[in-house]
Amino acid sequence: MLTRSAALAVAVLAIVLVSGFAFYYGSYLPSQPQCDPVAPGSVLRSQVTSTTFGGVTEYKLPSQGRWPNAIATAPDGSVWFAEEEVPGVAHLYPINGTLVEYAWPGYPVPKAPDCLYSASSSGLALWDGRVWAADEFNNAILGVNPADGSTVRVNTTSAAQFPYWLAVGPDGNLWFTSDNTPGALGRIFPNLTLSVVRLQGIGADEPIQLTFVNSSLAFIAALNEQENATTKGCVCTGHIYAFDPSEVSSSITPVVVGGNYTLQLPTSVSFSDGRIWVAQHGPSSVLSYDFATGQWTKYPTSTVPWSTSLPLVIAANGSQVWFNEHYANKIAMLDSNAGTLTELSESNPPASSPAGIQNDEAISLGAGGLWFTSETGNYVGFISSSYMPGFGIASAGNGTLSLPRGAGTSVAFRVSGSWPTALAVNASDSEGYTSVPNLLHIAPVVSSIPAGSAPYTLEVSLSAAQTTPAGRYVVAVTLTEGGVQQTAYLFVDVT
């Protein structure tokens, strides 16, 4: 097991073991940790400044030692998030930059030289008049009353260890996933008693994320991280399960969604317009399952030279599907109606190596856009859903074509808007783990488009090797000026 002090001293990409539970959690961490002691139980008020570049607005936190993670938006447009090194929760009012931090009582104050944070908070929810956050390290779920700063604590040690994700259920209770209680969910009632809901028939899968659609439909993203008997490595697959919240008692038997399709570390699921969208925390792709057609579709992201893009959390709102790309250091928005993908760098300048990764691990839909946290970048960010990068790309045809094995063709893409600097041209597809094309050969006629404006037509040669398995593939053609990637998808049926 990698100790936290060792992890803070070097840049790591690892599987971190938490008391027997192995959750795939890779973070590139700073070599110079800083700590800014906050007295346990205190309430701090300050003003933060914001910086805007492209479509991103960053709200910088008071010190380099806050470690913001789980995040949730409030009805009034303000935003709450967990601060793992305080530890506690914080409330940001973006309209005037006011930040109020609530330190949980009873925790040790981080101290140099390691400045180790003592809480791990990936789940946060607003429920029953309090702001609740899970503390995975300490088997606790804590609720802060913003009116007076008081904190209540629900101990999960005996019932459902290592609480991870929080969700308010249609039954009026607070639900959570448990990393180390095989086949179970936790449920907290308004009187703060806790019960466990056993999950039958899910094998070695362990629930990670839980989302409620309505009073009769909910989904669970679950991972199988047991050791592969042959390779001795992580199985690293999983499933999406559905269940009816109105039929829950002491146990439920959730139903696998989408049959035998193989999912790679499905860490997050979101439902919109008759589909679920799934983030895979491994490959450079996200998935969609259409309940009307019974079909899975894999959407590749743009590629990252040092790793996979590593999507982590996904949130759909109509045709707009938002997700974070942990190792690409980007926030992405996929428009399923337009067949396009916009990816925005979280940093300015964009990350050019693993050292630039700022560990955005949480997102939350808000009015007019998306909020996110950056653990090691030490800020809270917002992207407006109305942001227009100035240039775009779309298929010049109907977005679908048939291609026999061993054959080739040429396809056209329209470039719109204007671009004051040259645009690099790249391609990816849905064939494999990294989204790097292999048996499908994708060759744009130019590697960059000179500065200019529309109309501009980009021609791309496309061919399928004779050995390409028959089926539907998704091809992505991407333009970028460095900080923004604009992608058009093309559906290719290889016959």
- pLDDT of the residue at 33: 60
Judged against a pLDDT cut of 50, whether residue 4 lies above it is answered with: no
Sheet of 369-374, strand order: 50-53, 56-60, 379-384, 369-374, 362-366
Confidence of residue 446 (pLDDT cuts 50, 70, 90): very high
Tell me, yes or no, whether 360 lies in a domain: yes
Number of domains in the chain: 2
Cα 291 to Cα 29, 67, 276, distances in angstroms: 40, 38, 8
Q: Which two tokens mark 349?
A: 């300048």
Tell me, yes or no, whether 350 lies in a domain: yes
State yes or no: cis peptide before 113, omega within 30 of 0: yes
Q: Are residues 377 and 458 in the same domain?
A: no
Tell me the CATH number at 431.
2.60.40.2310
Tell me, yes or no, whether 178 lies in a domain: yes
Cα 140 to Cα 153, 197, 350, distances in angstroms: 7, 17, 37
Query: Which DSSP string do the residues of 381-404 spell out, in sequence order?
Result: EEEETT---SEEEEESS-SEEEE-
Judged against a pLDDT cut of 70, whether residue 479 lies above it is answered with: yes
Query: Please, are residues 141 and 163 in contact by the beta-carbon 8 Å criterion?
Result: yes
Domain boundary among 384, 417, 439: 384
Question: Is the model's pTM score more than 0.85?
Answer: yes
Q: Which two tokens mark 129?
A: 């008049």
Q: How far apart are CA 207 and CA 188, in angstroms?
A: 17
Query: Please, are residues 389 and 342 in contact by the beta-carbon 8 Å criterion?
Result: yes
Local structure of residue 173 (DSSP, 8 states): -
Roughly how many angstroms between the first and final C-alpha of the chain, as a whole number?
48
Confidence of residue 51 (pLDDT cuts 50, 70, 90): very high
pLDDT digits over 331-389, tens only?
Answer: 999 999 999 999 999 999 999 999 999 999 999 999 999 999 999 999 999 999 999 99
Query: Please, are residues 422 and 435 in contact by the beta-carbon 8 Å criterion?
Result: no
- pLDDT of the residue at 37: 83
Query: Which DSSP string do the residues of 10-78 spell out, in sequence order?
Result: S----EEEETTEEEE------SS-------TT-EEEEE--EEEETTEEEEE-SSTT--EEEEEE-TTS-
Q: Are residues 433 and 468 in the same domain?
A: yes
Q: How far apart are CA 19 and CA 265, in angstroms?
A: 20
Range of the domain at 71: 30-384
Confidence of residue 83 (pLDDT cuts 50, 70, 90): very high
Q: Are residues 370 and 481 in the same domain?
A: no
pLDDT digits over 293-314, tens only?
Answer: 999 999 999 999 999 999 999 9
Q: Are residues 354 and 439 in the same domain?
A: no
Domain boundary among 362, 384, 406: 384
- Determine which helix (DSSP H) or strand (DSSP E) holds 9, and give its type and residue range: helix 4-9
Q: How far apart are CA 37 and CA 243, in angstroms?
A: 44
Tell me, yes or no, whether 321 lies in a domain: yes
Q: Are residues 293 and 331 in the same domain?
A: yes
Q: Are residues 186 and 333 in the same domain?
A: yes
Tell me, yes or no, whether 15 lies in a domain: no
Q: Are residues 82 and 129 in the same domain?
A: yes
Cα 484 to Cα 193, 333, 347, 392, distances in angstroms: 48, 11, 11, 10
Q: Which two tokens mark 173?
A: 């209770």
Local structure of residue 5 (DSSP, 8 states): H
Other Cβ atoms within 10 Å of 193 Cβ, number: 10
- Provide, rounded to the nearest whole percent, the portion of the chain with pLDDT above 90: 83
pLDDT digits over 113-134, tens only?
Answer: 878 788 999 999 999 999 999 9
- pLDDT of the residue at 29: 57
Q: How far apart are CA 248 and CA 379, in angstroms?
A: 39
Domain boundary among 384, 415, 445: 384
Helix (H/G/I), strand (E/B), else coil: 416: strand
Tell me, yes or no, whether 24 lies in a domain: no
Which residues are CB-contacts of 406 (< 8 A; sequence separation ≥ 6)? Answer: 464, 465, 466
Q: Are residues 322 and 400 in the same domain?
A: no
Tell me, yes or no, whether 171 lies in a domain: yes
Tell me, yes or no, whether 1 lies in a domain: no
The two most distant CA atoms of the chain are separated, in Å, by: 70
pLDDT digits over 173-204, tens only?
Answer: 999 998 766 789 999 999 999 999 999 999 98
Which residues are CB-contacts of 61 (< 8 A; sequence separation ≥ 6)? Answer: 48, 68, 83, 90, 99, 378, 379, 380
Tell me the CATH number at 289.
2.130.10.10
In degrees, to the nearest 5, what angle opens at C-alpha 374 toward C-alphas 369 and 379?
A: 80
Query: Please, are residues 221 and 268 in contact by the beta-carbon 8 Å criterion?
Result: yes
